[in-house]
Structure 1
């Protein structure tokens, strides 16, 4: 049971890697098709200007490095203190499903209302997980 909590983590890492690879491929391809010298993207300012058409994908990659960090930390804490159970496992999968939906929406049709619902629901699941963990730690 304890090790099963790592499966949602691995799926989140896979999701992040897919977005990263898609972003990297898109950037390289964009430089090639637009005949832009790579040195023009040597710093953040130049890259943000040149890659503006790929902004949504870059924004989403950054999203995958923000809130999910709290998920990774919580899973590490759960493993350290031995609190993994079926409730945490179910909540972890719900969080990952919400983040996958958020990724799908953000990287395709990008309707903000739909994306926000996926973000909100997955974040609420994560906050429930943290609240439960905090109560367990405080109650001993």
Structure 2
């Protein structure tokens, strides 16, 4: 396995985020039209202003897209740092893939059935993967610095 192998999960999570972005707008824009919201004259506002205006199932996709802009940014930083430091360990790659798989599962749950306990379990498991990757990065960085 090459060090760049840890980049595969990064690319997949970015691609998944774009899938959620498209899903968000493919569902939200028609819902906004049905709700009588005219984008042409709209000034200001934020996506969260649509909570309570649009069907909550439509908003679930937007909420998940926002979640993909939060904790995964730490994953990107950790994974890229591991790749730059030359980490080619298969365990690192396994935890990175597990993180991405769990985040995709989290997205699918939140965007469809949105059962909070399932979402929480997936979030907790993915967070555990990220914690282990961070510990791995810390160990490698400390070894590299001295």
Normalised to the residue count of structure 2, the TM-score between the two structures is 0.85
Distance 2:49 2:61 in 1: 12
Q: CA deviation at 1:43?
A: 2.3
Partner of 1:28: 29
Partner of 1:15: 16
Q: Which ranges in structure 1 are unaligned for 5 or more consecutive residues?
A: none
2:109 is aligned, of 86, 92, 105, to 105
Matched, 1:74 2:81: no
Distance 2:47 2:95 in 1: 40
Q: Which ranges in structure 2 are unaligned for 5 or more consecutive residues?
A: none
RCO comparison, higher one (Cα < 8 Å, 6+)? 2
2:120 is aligned, of 116, 123, 131, to 116
SS of 1:91 mapped into structure 2: helix
Distance 1:72 1:48 in 2: 29
Distance 1:63 1:93 in 2: 18
Superposition misfits of 4+ residues, deviation over 4 angstroms:
none
SS of 2:6 mapped into structure 1: helix
- Root-mean-square deviation (CA), in Å? 1.9
Task: Classify 1:13/1:111 alpha carbon distance in 2 versus 1 (closer, same or farther; 3 Å).
Answer: same
Answer yes or no: is the 8 Å Cα contact 2:28–2:59 preserved in 1. no
Task: Classify 1:2/1:41 alpha carbon distance in 2 versus 1 (closer, same or farther; 3 Å).
Answer: farther
Q: Which stretch of structure 1 is more off in the superposition, 60-69 or 79-88?
A: 79-88
Point out the structure with the larger helix share. 1
Answer yes or no: is the 8 Å Cα contact 1:40–1:47 preserved in 2. no
How many residue pairs get matched? 140
* CA deviation vs aligned residue, 1:27-66 (integer Å, no higher than 9, x gap): 2211333332114653235762344633221111010011
